[in-house]
Amino acid sequence: MKVELVEKNQNTVKFILRDASTALANAVRRAMISEVPVLAIDDVFVFENTSVLRDEILAHRLGLIPLKTPPGKYRLREECDCGSERGCEKCRVTLTLTAEAVDEVKTVYSGELVSEDPEVEPVSPNIPIVKLAPGQKVRIMAYARLGRGREHAKWQPVSMCIYKNLPVIEVLDECDGCGKCVEKCPRKILRVEEGKVVVVDELDCILCKFCEEACPKIPPAIKVEYEKNSFLFTVESVGNLPPEELVAEAVDVMLGQVEEFGKAFEEAAGSGGS
């Protein structure tokens, strides 16, 4: 199995996974969506709320604010040795919010949340929480804990995690550069240069084969196929973790699950269980 990095920026990474089955590619995708633990607000204590939003709505909005998650710093609550229902400093982070509108309408944003851990903060300070009219006030304390996407969408660290078969486009010598395929391509990845069709961005192909259908040659002078057991991944992080760390964490989770399954199987085989 080989991995080739195609593109990376602050929140998105594209890479090619080669020599892997579809089952493995999908397992990696599912692990990134539902198995990588990240922080999110889960317990909310409302001490004062005179806004138009009910306490439950405020709690829901706070829970959906993505929080930066330092890898390895906190434990999952079920794995923490504190045994507390509310958690401890090893498995939770406390955030507070106090806001009041005095003379004019005030919009309360995520940047006003105060965290006890400077490494844990909203990924953006500009997420609106509630709008307060003059005289209205909110005073809230919240606990953030690690969780997985399979529990709730607020713990999903990705906003997009997709893969597709790796496209392979071949322009044959019979091509006379008529441009019919260029006109039909929905992704605009073909163009005519010096009397022949050339591929501008092969990775952007969606394997629709409209170009093949548009070619007047029989058989078509352009062939669109895909590389077997090779996939192009696009992963967009919500911001809890950098995208490259998110991918690496998903692989570590999968390896841990495989090891756990192996141990369970050996124990079952040793005890004669089924």
Q: Output the pLDDT for position 86.
A: 83
Tokens of 45: 């204590």
CA gap 64, 126 in Å, rounded: 13
pLDDT, tens only, 64-94: 999 999 998 999 998 998 888 888 999 999 9
What is the rounded average pLDDT of the residues 119-123?
96
Q: What pTM was estimated for this model as a whole?
A: 0.86
User: Which residues fall within 8 angstroms of residue 30, CB to CB, at 6 or more apart?
Assistant: none
- Across 116-139, average pLDDT: 96
DSSP secondary structure of 189-255: -EEEETTEEEES-GGG-----HHHHH--SSS-SEEEEEEEEEEEEEEEE-SSS-HHHHHHHHHHHHH
In tens, the pLDDT along 39-66 reads: 999 999 999 999 999 999 999 999 999 9
Tell me the mean pLDDT in the region 110-124. 96
* Band of pLDDT at residue 225, cut at 50, 70 and 90: very high
**Mean predicted confidence (pLDDT) in 219-242:** 95
Residues 250/35, Cβ–Cβ less than 8 Å: yes
CATH topology for the 38-153 domain: RNA Polymerase Alpha Subunit; Chain A, domain 2 (2.170.120)
Pure H helices in 74-201 = 180-184
pLDDT of residue 268: 86
Residue 267, pLDDT score: 86
pLDDT(273) > 60: no
Per-residue pLDDT band at 96 (split at 50, 70, 90)? very high
Ordered by start, the domain boundaries in the chain are 2-34+159-235, 38-153
| pLDDT higher than 60, residue 105 | yes
Residue 24 φ/ψ, nearest 5 degrees: -70, -40
DSSP, collapsed to helix, strand or coil, labels residue 3 as strand
Class of domain 2-34+159-235: alpha beta
% of the chain residues with pLDDT over 70: 99
Does position 272 have pLDDT exceeding 80, yes or no? no
pLDDT score of 194: 87
pLDDT digits (tens, 9 = 90+) for 157-209: 999 999 999 999 999 999 999 999 999 999 999 999 988 999 999 999 999 99
pLDDT tens-digit map of 7-16: 999 999 999 9
